[in-house]
Amino acid sequence: MAAALQPEDLPEPEESDTSDLRSVLVTSVLNLEPLDKDLFRGSHHWVPVTQRLFGGQIVGQALVAASRSVKEDENVHSLHCYFVRAGDPKIPVLYQVERTRDGRSFSTRSVKAIQHGVPILTCQVSFQLPQESPLKHQFPMPTVPPPEELLTREELIQKYLKDPSLVEKHRTGLNKILAQEVPILIKPINPPDMFHRLPQEPRQMFWVRAKGLIGPGDMRLHCCVAAYISDYSFLGTAILPHLLRPLQFMASLDHSMWFHAPFRADEWMLYECESQWAGNCRGLVHGRLWRKDGVLAVSCAQEGVFRVRADKPKSKL
């Protein structure tokens, strides 16, 4: 395992037009209210079209809660979560932390995210003190265009909206997407055809970063933001070969992350996603978050459940 993450090891910040703006992910979305020892309350700000709580926010807030129960020099190296119920966007979420173990090198925490008196997510988090090791290796980063040469998802949508031949139903759908105040920026490597949902390989890559400034500060905060980011458009990778099928329902079952190297979640990172398998109403997706300098910062895995609408029987008339 690589050395534990340290704030002073973070890559130098890039030039940014948001240098004077504190990220809403820090000021609001991941800012928990302490209620008692190891008990916190979190609110929510962005709700997907599913009208359920965004899973990345629940994972990120659970990691914030766990991080507040360990020493300052301990950094998260892995987390494993299960989504057990859909989150209700109408009420806050309570986070209850159990201090499972404090060892000499590693500490373990268990977190329950609770609504209506029952868990909606359970999470195991492991933290590690800094440790140097001569054993290091990683896969090479994919070769892709840099983010400076690509358009954000919002810029792509604005480009589509300028097309006078755009049919009204597509125009309405694109405007709904623009109206969502998502606190992250995305630049697709190969933007999908938003009007002809043709099957494609279960792989996608995009540059991603938090909107606004987080600052070098606490490395654990960047990990919490990365947990939020990692769930966005992740599970959808598994349905790319099946876009012609009428999808009725999709939801995450579990989510795991491994943190390898220091990074800044407010700087561009390449998110490489691929789905090696789908079947039995489930799909598995793996992801890798790369720093711009080619360092593998985070690995992710998620499994989800899929339901396809049954075709209506044809009339015999």
Nearest to 287 by CA among 233, 216, 239: 233
H helix runs in the chain, sequence order: 24, 55-67, 153-161, 168-179, 219-230
Report the C-alpha gap between 6 and 73 in whole angstroms: 8
Active site residue 165: no
Ramachandran sector of residue 161 (left: φ over 0; alpha: ψ -120 to 50; beta: rest):
alpha
Active site residue 311: no
User: Catalytic residue among 23, 57, 231, 233, which?
Assistant: 231
Q: Tokens 């793996």 correspond to what residue? A: 286
Report the C-alpha gap between 296 and 263 in whole angstroms: 9
Cβ neighbours of residue 18 closer than 8 Å, sequence gap 6 or more: 211, 212, 213, 266
Active site residue 302: yes
User: Catalytic residue among 23, 126, 128, 302, which?
Assistant: 302
How much helix, strand and coil, in percent to the nearest 5, is found in the chain?
Answer: 20, 35, 45
Report the C-alpha gap between 225 and 50 in whole angstroms: 22
Report the C-alpha gap between 156 and 148 in whole angstroms: 14
> What single DSSP character describes residue 140?
P
For residues 32 and 25, the answer to whether their CB atoms sit within 8 Å is no
Helix (H) or strand (E) holding 192: none
Report the C-alpha gap between 177 and 15 in whole angstroms: 28
Q: Tokens 């940014």 correspond to what residue? A: 16
Report the C-alpha gap between 299 and 230 in whole angstroms: 9
User: Catalytic residue among 23, 124, 126, 252, which?
Assistant: 252
Q: Find the Cα–Cα–Cα–Cα dihedral 7, 12, 13, 14, rounded to 10°.
A: -160
> What single DSSP character describes residue 28?
I
Catalytic residue list: 231, 252, 302
